Amino acid sequence: MWKLVRSLWPLLVLGLLVNTAYSVMWPLTTIYLHQNLGLSLVVSGVILAVYSGFNVLGGYLGGLLTDRFPVKRVGLALLTGLVVDAVAGLFWNGRVAYPLVLVVFGLLTGGMLTLITALAAHLSRGSGRLFNVLYIFINLGLVVGTASIGVLFHHSLQPIFFLLIACYGGAIGLWLKYADRLAQPVRGTGATAAVTATQGRPAMLRPFQIGVILLSLTLMWLTYAQWMSNVSVYIQNQGLGIRLYSHLWVYNGLLLIVVQSLMTKVSRTKTLPAQIILGLGAIGCSFLLLSSTTGVLVLFVAMTLLTLGEAIYVPGVPALINAYTVGNEGKYQGLVNAFSSLGKAVGPVMGGLIIGSSQAFSLLFLLCGLVNGLIVLGLIVGVLPALKNTGEPSA
C-alpha cells in the first residue's frame, strides 16, 4: 500500500481534493433547496435528478475524452471549468442560479472523477489494490468535506464556494506539475507490466455481464442516494439536527478509511465477486434496520452497515470490470461513473415520490432493502456463472 502511495501520491491527492469539493456540496443540496430556498421535496428531487443526469453525461464524456485526447488538456479544461463554476456560485445562488451552478458542477465533476479512475485503471496492474488505495483518499476527502459543513454553513453558501475554489486551485497546481507523469507508465508501480499483462489476457466479461454489473451499480446508488438526500429530512423530522447528519457522514468517511486500509491487504481479483455480493448485503441490511426502528444509535448502526457495504462493494465493481476486460479504460470507467450517477439521479426523485404518496419513510427504507436483495440475486444468476466458466484473469 505505502509503495503505491509514494509512487502515485499526486493522483491520490487529486482524488482527495476533487472529492472534498464534491462532498461539501451534495449533503447540503437537499437541505438548501428545501429549507433555504423553500422548494418542495419533489421539486428538490427533480433538480437533483437533472444535476445527476448531467453528472452521468459528464462521466461518460469524461471517459471518451480521456481515451481520445491528451489527458493533461482534458483535466486542465475540467478543473478550470470547475473554478469558474465555483466563482459563479459565490455570487449567484438563488432559486434560479443555484440549480444552474449545480448542473454545471455535476457535469464537470463527473468528467473529472472519471478521468481520475481511468488513470487508476491504467496504472493498476489489472488488480484492485490501487482502486482501494484511491478510495481511501477519496473518502478522506469525504471526511474533510462533510466535517467542513458544520463549520462553514450557516444559511449562506459563500464559505462553501470559497472552499471549492481553494480545492480546485490546489488541484490545478498539482495537475500542471504531475499530469505528464500520471499519463505515462510510472517506474516502480508496475504500470508497464500492467499494460503488457492486459494486452495478453483474454476479455472475459461479455456485454451482457457488463450490463448486469452496471445495472447493479445504478440500483445500488438509487437506494444509497436516500442517505444523501431524503435521510437528512428524515433525521430532522425526528427532532435531530443537521449536526447529527454531518457527524454521520464524518463517521462514514473515517470508517471507510479504516476498512479500505484493511481491504488493500486482503482484496484479490478472485475474491471480487464475493466481495461485491457481501457489500450489497450489508447495504440492504442497513435499510432494513432503518425501516424497523428509530433513534440515534440505530442511525449509527445503520450507517455502519452502509459504510461496510460501500467500502467492500463500490471499489470492487470498477476493479472487477478492469480485471475482466481489455483496454479502453476511459470508456469502461466512464460507464461505471455514468451508471452510478444515473442511480444518484433517479434515487432522490423516487424517494420523494414514495414519501409524498405514503407519508412513510419506513416504506421507502423497506423497498431500498428489498432492491439490494434483488441485485444480489441478479448478480448470482447473471454474472457469477460466467466468471466461473472463464476462470481467473492472469493479473
pLDDT tens, position by position, for the chain (395 residues)? 566 666 678 888 998 999 898 888 876 777 778 777 877 777 877 887 788 788 888 888 888 888 888 888 999 999 999 999 999 988 887 888 888 999 999 899 989 988 888 887 777 655 557 777 887 888 788 778 877 877 777 777 888 889 999 999 999 999 998 888 777 643 333 433 444 444 444 457 788 888 899 999 999 999 998 988 788 888 888 888 777 887 888 888 788 888 888 887 776 777 788 889 999 999 999 999 998 888 889 999 999 999 999 988 988 888 888 777 766 667 787 888 788 878 887 888 888 888 888 878 889 999 999 999 999 999 998 888 877 665 555 44
Specify the amino acid at residue 111: G
CA separation, residue 82 to residues 106, 107, 301 (Å) = 10, 9, 36
306: left (phi over 0), alpha (psi -120 to 50) or beta: alpha
Instruction: Collect all residues with Cβ–Cβ distance below 8 Å to 284 and sequence separation of at least 6.
Output: 309, 368, 369, 370, 371, 372, 373, 376
The total number of residues written for the chain in this structure: 395
Strand residues in 187-321 grouped as ranges (E): none
Q: Does residue 304 sit in helix, strand or coil? A: helix
Q: What's phi and psi for 293, nearest 5 deg? A: -155, 170
CA angle, residues 121, 127, 128, in degrees to nearest 5: 80
Residues 70 and 115 sit within 8 Å (Cβ to Cβ): no
CA distances from 384 to 111, 277, 326, 330 (A): 30, 10, 19, 25
Query: Between the CA of residue 236 and those of 32, 226, 249, what are the distances in Å?
Result: 13, 14, 15
Verdict on whether the full-model pTM lies above 0.75: no
Check if the beta carbon of residue 157 is closer than 8 Å to that of residue 89: yes
Q: Grid coordinates 470508517 are at which residue?
A: 255
- Calpha distance 93→316 (Å, rounded): 37
Q: Is 190 left (phi over 0), alpha (psi -120 to 50) or beta?
A: left
C-alpha closest to that of 209 among 337, 332, 378, 382? 382
Shortest CA distance to 382 belongs to which of 211, 267, 172? 211
Contact (CB, 8 A) for 332 and 131: no
What is the residue whose three cell numbers read 448485503? 281
- What is the rounded distance in angstroms from the CA atom of residue 45 to the CA atom of residue 358? 16
CA distance 186 to 161: 34
Distance of CA 51 to the CA centre of its chain: 14
Q: Residue 198 corresponds to which cell in the numbers above?
A: 492486459
On whether the CB atoms of residues 22 and 137 are closer than 8 A, the answer is: no
Question: What cell was used for 319?
Answer: 476493479
Instruction: Sort 152 into a burial class: Cβ within 10 Å, 0-12 / 13-18 / 19+.
Output: middle
Number of CB atoms found within 10 A of residue 184's CB: 13
Q: In angstroms, rounded to a whole number, what is the distance separating the alpha carbons of residues 50 and 349?
A: 10
pLDDT of residue 172: 94
